[in-house]
Amino acid sequence: VQLQASGGGLAQTGGSLRLSCVASGRTFSGYAMAWFRQAPGKEREFVATIARNGESTGYTDSVEGRFIISRDNRKNTLYLEMNSMKPEDTAVYYCAAASRARYNEWHAHQSWYDFWGRGTQVTVSS
């Protein structure tokens, strides 16, 4: 599957952005999906994940209550709605797909993810 992320840009502290990730090449509903991010000088970290069925989600503590992950399997698209943004949210955001996840499972560890998009830059000004 090929993944293309978009929607990044510049936001102010307290503002919002919505990222999208369009999948092509294989059946989108066959993959658990996730967003990861990498800030300058730091390792890539988990942000949020959603099961194949779209009903189970998981978040890292730092974004819980501010970010919402969702998916539209009819449109082959993954979303990340980011609200109440903070400067520490500044990073390149990557979408990823996991082919081995069961229908209602999500996974936070990068080792589960077989396919990665190129990333989209998000910058939050203070």
pLDDT digits (tens, 9 = 90+) for 85-95: 999 999 999 99
Structure confidence by residue, pLDDT tens digits, 46-82? 999 999 999 999 999 999 999 999 999 999 999 999 9
Greatest distance between any 2 Cα atoms in the chain: 40
Q: Count the Cβ atoms, other than its own, within 10 Å of residue 81.
A: 15
Q: Count the Cβ atoms, other than its own, within 10 Å of residue 106.
A: 23
Residues 121/40, Cβ–Cβ less than 8 Å: no
Segment (H or E) for 108 = none
Q: d(Cα 34, Cα 107) in Å, to the nearest integer?
A: 8
